[in-house]
Each structure stands twice: as structure tokens, then as C-alpha cells.
Chains A and B, each alone.
Chain A
């Protein structure tokens, strides 16, 4: 059998993910995350009488902490299986990626284990995040004059 024909056979028996349903779930969960974040900003700014900018830093730290804690308790991965990318795309997903890699390599030593592998999943996000920030910054400077 030719490879192309075999690929068709495999595809026939491979169940398709329901992209629309997944997207709707991610949209709703992601939206809820946004509401929680906004709620935290409002609460922090009214309790501590700080600016919205400072309160949003507090909010990010809180979400990162909760993401890491749920990862360590072993429930975050099960939540993702249900929530799809609704939990992966927000800052919680980034915290989860770093924390899970750290947990995985904690027995291989501080430097050769944790240090070397902590950014295994999140490293690409940081690299390409920084690079694209430069590119878009440059585009903005050249087109809109800063």
C-alpha cells in the first residue's frame, strides 16, 4: 500500500477533535478567568487603596500562585483536560508549564535538574514573546512614530 493511501486509512479511523466545542469551552473558561482577574484587581485596589496598575500586579501574582499550587496538588492537569486552552493561554498556563517542569526534574539536582529544565516548556514562550515584542515595537515606531 502506498503511504498516501495508508494515511487516508489511518485518518478514517482516527477520531477528530471537535474544534468548535473545544473553542467554546476555552472561550467560556478563559472569559471566567478574565472576570476573576478583573474582580481581584477591583478587590485589591479598594482594600489596599492602590492604583489599578499596582493591583493588576497583585492579581497576576495571585493567579500564578494558585496555578502553581494546583499543579503541585496534582489537579491542574485534570482541570486542563476539561477546560482545554481556557486555562493554558492565561498566565495560569505559563505558571503551570514552569511548575510542572520544575516538579518533574526536582530529583536531578538544583542546577542539572531544576535550573536546566525549569524553562523546558515555558522557554520558547519567553524567547518568542520577547522577540515578537521587539518586532512589533519596531513596527509601531516606524509606522506610527512610537
Chain B
């Protein structure tokens, strides 16, 4: 399902990252970074919540607004009961919607906010997401210090908080349209092969978006998927060709961009809800502001994985949402 917008813009963004991301290629582009994983908090979960809260506070500071000026705060993260978002929201105090589509939450939030702004239901909205490597490892995999030999196609959850301010006020970057994806399960059960799990969902969303807007893949200067990883990227390209007979030309994956895959110990690349926005709100938007990129399609991909259901031998469903950004 594709929706067009007339009057929605991204006014400001903020990003905060952990040590691995800061050591990556975009280190100078982030607003703030931490050198360790606790950020002065007692636990990883509380640290993640702090990251999210700080990214919203930083966004308000950068855009010179007070929290009373904001109509709606939409936020998502990976933790059970959305604790990072909920605890941050309880300290921030803006009317709040908590959302979960795993690593596709970032674009899901942007779509909800864009719809409400375009229909004049709200003036503006903050959309934020967070992920934390250690809290995600603890919840979805093994204890952080446990050294099970990792498969080399595993992705590495990014540590970061990213927020964006959306409103009707004109800025350089316009949200032009969005496509809501559907949940697709192709029977993959390997919890380490997230690229394999999510590629069909990403392919479906990209294909649907291009079909419904009557565009060709080359219309976009860049199609950027969320966190398929080094191996997932190749799976998507081949699946796209075989299933939809479509060649992805200007295509990249933010999992492969956020880290230096050759030097950093991140195996197949980054992942997590913060992975796509950390790349999109920094490197990509800078390029858009410099007019090096004019049209960008962000496709956030989420593996809707629960350890409980995976232990019950069920395969992993996935979803992808797309949002089209244009420089005006």
C-alpha cells in the first residue's frame, strides 16, 4: 500500500552512538557518542533508554523547541515491552505512541507521523528508535560474555539512538511517499541468518513501491535497505531478479555502511532499529543536502523474531516498510 504526501518534511535529526559505531566510517557525523556500554547507568536496558531519551532531548535542543511544542512522540526499540522507549517517554512527557516492527520500527514511525501530519491531525512529531548491542544480545541470544563461536554471517546489533522531527514546515528534505509492507515468512529458521529472513519482505516492499508509483528502480539515486548485512544484500539482489525480474542498480544496505567490515569485528555488518536511521540521518542526509543524492528510498527491514517461538521450531516472519525522501 503506497501513500503520497504533499506537505511533510524532516526538519531536524539527532544521533547518539556507542563505541563501535563511533569507530566506524561516519564517526564525525554523529552528534554525540559514548566510549563504553553503560553510559553511566546501572544496566544495559537502562543505558539504552538513556540513549533514546538523550537523542530526543538533543533533537529538541537542536531544533530550538520545547517539549510543549511537540504534538506527538513515536518510538520503538527491540526490548520486551518496549522498555527503552516507554521509560524514556515517561521522562520526556510528550503524548506518546510505542511501536514495534523490530528493525523496521524506524520507518514505521515515520509513516505514522507523516500520515497524521499530512492530514493536519497534528502539527509535528518526533520519531525515535534505539538499539543496544548488549541488551539485544542478552534478550535474543546468549549472555554478553558468553563466547559461543559466532557464525560469520551473523549481524552485529548497533548501539545508538536516533530521532527525527517531522512537520509541515518546509525544509530541504521532503517525505514524498511511503509504502507499508506485509509480513512475509519464507520458512527460514536460522536465527543468525537475518539477511535470509528479511530479504523477501524487502523485495516485496521495493517492488510494490515501484509498481504502485509507476517508477523504475533507476528513478532513485539510492535505494537503501536497513540491516540485511553483507550476505543478505546479495540474497536480495538475486531474489529481486528471479522473483520480480528487476535489477537493483543504485542499491546499498546500511548494515554494510555503518561499520568498516574489513577492520571491525562485526562479521556480516550492523543490525537493529537504529542501524538504518544512524546512516540515513547522517551520511545520506548530508549527501542530500549537498545535492549529491536527490531521491532516496529508505527500506527498513525487520525480522519479527521471538526466541520462544523459534525454540518451538517455527520459522521467522519478516516485514519491510519504505519511505521516499526527496530534496527540494
Q: Which 3 A-B pairs have the closest CB atoms?
A: A77-B147, A80-B147, A104-B143
Contact B144 A15 (CB under 8 A): no
Contact A1 B243 (CB under 8 A): yes
B120-157 to A contact mask, C-beta < 8 Å, 1/0? 00000000000000000010001111111111110000
List, sorted by A's number, 11 A–B pairs whose CB atoms are closer than 8 Å.
A1-B186, A3-B186, A9-B235, A10-B193, A12-B238, A13-B234, A13-B235, A71-B145, A77-B145, A100-B142, A103-B143
Given contacts A6-B200, A121-B143, contact A17 B152 (CB under 8 A): yes
Task: Give how many B residues have a beta carbon under 8 Å from the other chain's beta carbons.
Answer: 31
Q: Check if B65 is an interface residue, CB within 8 A of chain A.
A: no
B188–chain A nearest beta-carbon distance, Å: 6
From B147, B153, B186, A15 is in contact (CB under 8 Å) with: B153
B91-123 to A contact mask, C-beta < 8 Å, 1/0? 000000000000000000000000000000000
Choose among B43, B147, B150, B196 the residue with the greatest number of A CB atoms under 10 Å from its CB.
Answer: B147
Question: Please, which residue of chain B has its CB at the minimum distance from the CB of A108?
Answer: B43
Question: Please, which residue of chain B has its CB at the minimum distance from the CB of A6?
Answer: B186
- Assembled-state Cα–Cα distance A9/B239 (Å): 8
Question: Please, which residue of chain B has its CB at the minimum distance from the CB of A104?
Answer: B143
- Assembled-state Cα–Cα distance A97/B193 (Å): 24
Contact A13 B231 (CB under 8 A): yes
A59-87 to B contact mask, C-beta < 8 Å, 1/0? 00000000000011010111111001101
From A6, A85, A120, B149 is in contact (CB under 8 Å) with: A85
Given contacts A76-B147, A100-B143, contact A15 B187 (CB under 8 A): no
Contact B144 A13 (CB under 8 A): no
Contact B147 A10 (CB under 8 A): no
Contact A101 B143 (CB under 8 A): yes
A71–chain B nearest beta-carbon distance, Å: 5
- Assembled-state Cα–Cα distance A1/B196 (Å): 14
- Give the dominant DSSP class at A's interface: helix
Contact B234 A81 (CB under 8 A): no
Task: Give how many A residues have a beta carbon under 8 Å from the other chain's beta carbons.
Answer: 36
Q: Which residues of the other chain, A, contact B232 by a CB distance below 8 angstroms?
A: 13
Q: Check if B262 is an interface residue, CB within 8 A of chain A.
A: no
Q: Which residues of the other chain, B, contact A14 by a CB distance below 8 angstroms?
A: 153, 193, 196, 231
- Assembled-state Cα–Cα distance A24/B297 (Å): 47
From A12, A15, A85, A97, B146 is in contact (CB under 8 Å) with: A97
- Assembled-state Cα–Cα distance A88/B148 (Å): 8
Q: Check if B263 is an interface residue, CB within 8 A of chain A.
A: no
- Assembled-state Cα–Cα distance A57/B231 (Å): 47
- Assembled-state Cα–Cα distance A71/B145 (Å): 7
Contact A81 B150 (CB under 8 A): yes
* Residues 1-49 of A contacting B (Cβ, < 8 Å): 1, 3, 6-7, 9-10, 12-15, 17, 22
Q: Check if A99 is an interface residue, CB within 8 A of chain B.
A: yes
Beyond contacts A14-B231, A72-B145, A79-B147: 14 other A-B pairs, Cβ-Cβ < 8 A, are: A1-B242, A3-B187, A7-B186, A9-B239, A10-B196, A76-B147, A77-B147, A87-B147, A88-B148, A88-B149, A96-B146, A100-B144, A103-B143, A103-B145
Q: Check if A107 is an interface residue, CB within 8 A of chain B.
A: yes
- Assembled-state Cα–Cα distance A120/B148 (Å): 14
- Assembled-state Cα–Cα distance A17/B193 (Å): 13
Q: Which residues of the other chain, B, contact A22 by a CB distance below 8 angstroms?
A: 149
Contact A107 B147 (CB under 8 A): no
From A7, A17, A99, A120, B145 is in contact (CB under 8 Å) with: A99
Q: Check if B64 is an interface residue, CB within 8 A of chain A.
A: no
- Assembled-state Cα–Cα distance A6/B153 (Å): 17
Contact A7 B151 (CB under 8 A): no
Q: Check if B42 is an interface residue, CB within 8 A of chain A.
A: yes
* Residues 74-127 of A contacting B (Cβ, < 8 Å): 74, 76-81, 84-85, 87-88, 96-97, 99-101, 103-105, 107, 120-121
Choose among B193, B196, B238 the residue with the greatest number of A CB atoms under 10 Å from its CB.
Answer: B196
Contact B231 A74 (CB under 8 A): no
Question: Please, which residue of chain B has its CB at the minimum distance from the CB of A84?
Answer: B149
- Assembled-state Cα–Cα distance A72/B239 (Å): 44
Question: Please, which residue of chain A has its CB at the minimum distance from the CB of B203?
Answer: A1
Question: Please, which residue of chain B has its CB at the minimum distance from the CB of A101?
Answer: B143
